[in-house]
Amino acid sequence: MNDSELDRMLKNAATTQAAAPRGLEQMIMARVRVDDGRARRMRSFAKWLLLLAAISGMVTAGVVGWARASQDTTHTVPPAMELFRAGGVQ
Protein backbone atom coordinates (compact mmCIF):
# COMPACT_ATOMS: atom_id res chain seq x y z
CA MET A 1 0.00 0.00 0.00
CA ASN A 2 1.41 3.35 -0.97
CA ASP A 3 0.76 6.79 0.52
CA SER A 4 -1.99 7.76 -1.92
CA GLU A 5 -3.97 4.55 -1.25
CA LEU A 6 -3.59 4.99 2.50
CA ASP A 7 -4.64 8.63 2.23
CA ARG A 8 -7.69 7.69 0.14
CA MET A 9 -8.66 4.93 2.57
CA LEU A 10 -8.37 7.24 5.60
CA LYS A 11 -10.41 9.98 3.90
CA ASN A 12 -13.05 7.44 2.96
CA ALA A 13 -13.22 6.11 6.52
CA ALA A 14 -13.49 9.62 7.93
CA THR A 15 -16.35 10.67 5.64
CA THR A 16 -18.54 7.56 5.87
CA GLN A 17 -21.29 7.49 8.47
CA ALA A 18 -21.72 4.56 10.81
CA ALA A 19 -24.80 2.54 9.94
CA ALA A 20 -25.96 2.10 13.55
CA PRO A 21 -29.70 2.45 14.19
CA ARG A 22 -30.82 5.42 16.25
CA GLY A 23 -32.22 3.24 19.03
CA LEU A 24 -28.96 1.37 19.39
CA GLU A 25 -27.06 4.64 19.76
CA GLN A 26 -29.43 5.77 22.50
CA MET A 27 -29.06 2.46 24.32
CA ILE A 28 -25.28 2.69 24.12
CA MET A 29 -25.25 6.26 25.44
CA ALA A 30 -27.60 5.30 28.30
CA ARG A 31 -25.22 2.50 29.24
CA VAL A 32 -22.26 4.88 29.11
CA ARG A 33 -24.05 7.28 31.46
CA VAL A 34 -24.85 4.46 33.90
CA ASP A 35 -21.25 3.26 33.79
CA ASP A 36 -20.01 6.82 34.33
CA GLY A 37 -22.13 7.11 37.48
CA ARG A 38 -20.86 3.77 38.71
CA ALA A 39 -17.26 4.85 38.08
CA ARG A 40 -17.83 8.12 39.96
CA ARG A 41 -19.24 6.25 42.94
CA MET A 42 -16.30 3.86 42.92
CA ARG A 43 -13.80 6.75 42.81
CA SER A 44 -15.62 8.46 45.67
CA PHE A 45 -15.58 5.23 47.68
CA ALA A 46 -11.85 4.78 47.06
CA LYS A 47 -11.11 8.39 48.09
CA TRP A 48 -13.07 8.02 51.33
CA LEU A 49 -11.41 4.68 52.04
CA LEU A 50 -7.93 6.17 51.59
CA LEU A 51 -8.82 9.22 53.70
CA LEU A 52 -10.18 7.08 56.52
CA ALA A 53 -7.14 4.80 56.37
CA ALA A 54 -4.82 7.82 56.65
CA ILE A 55 -6.77 9.25 59.59
CA SER A 56 -6.85 5.86 61.28
CA GLY A 57 -3.09 5.51 60.85
CA MET A 58 -2.44 8.94 62.36
CA VAL A 59 -4.72 8.26 65.33
CA THR A 60 -3.09 4.87 65.92
CA ALA A 61 0.39 6.43 65.76
CA GLY A 62 -0.68 9.12 68.22
CA VAL A 63 -2.13 6.61 70.70
CA VAL A 64 0.92 4.34 70.50
CA GLY A 65 3.28 7.29 70.87
CA TRP A 66 1.37 8.66 73.85
CA ALA A 67 1.26 5.24 75.53
CA ARG A 68 4.99 4.72 75.04
CA ALA A 69 5.80 8.25 76.24
CA SER A 70 3.66 7.87 79.36
CA GLN A 71 5.59 4.72 80.34
CA ASP A 72 9.00 6.32 79.78
CA THR A 73 10.69 7.33 83.05
CA THR A 74 13.84 8.82 81.52
CA HIS A 75 12.90 12.43 82.16
CA THR A 76 10.95 12.08 85.41
CA VAL A 77 14.10 12.43 87.56
CA PRO A 78 16.71 15.02 86.59
CA PRO A 79 20.18 13.64 85.87
CA ALA A 80 22.77 13.82 88.61
CA MET A 81 25.44 16.41 87.82
CA GLU A 82 28.99 16.16 89.11
CA LEU A 83 29.01 19.89 89.87
CA PHE A 84 26.29 19.49 92.49
CA ARG A 85 27.70 16.25 93.95
CA ALA A 86 31.13 17.66 94.68
CA GLY A 87 29.74 20.66 96.41
CA GLY A 88 32.07 23.12 94.81
CA VAL A 89 34.28 23.97 91.92
CA GLN A 90 37.50 22.03 91.52
pLDDT in tens, 34-83: 777 788 889 999 999 999 999 999 999 999 999 999 888 877 777 777 77
Question: 1 or 88, which is more confident?
Answer: 1
86 pLDDT above the threshold of 90: no
DSSP state of 69: H
- pTM metric for this prediction: 0.50
What b/e readout covers 45-60, taking b as 16+ CB neighbours within 10 angstroms? eeeeeeeeeeeeeeee
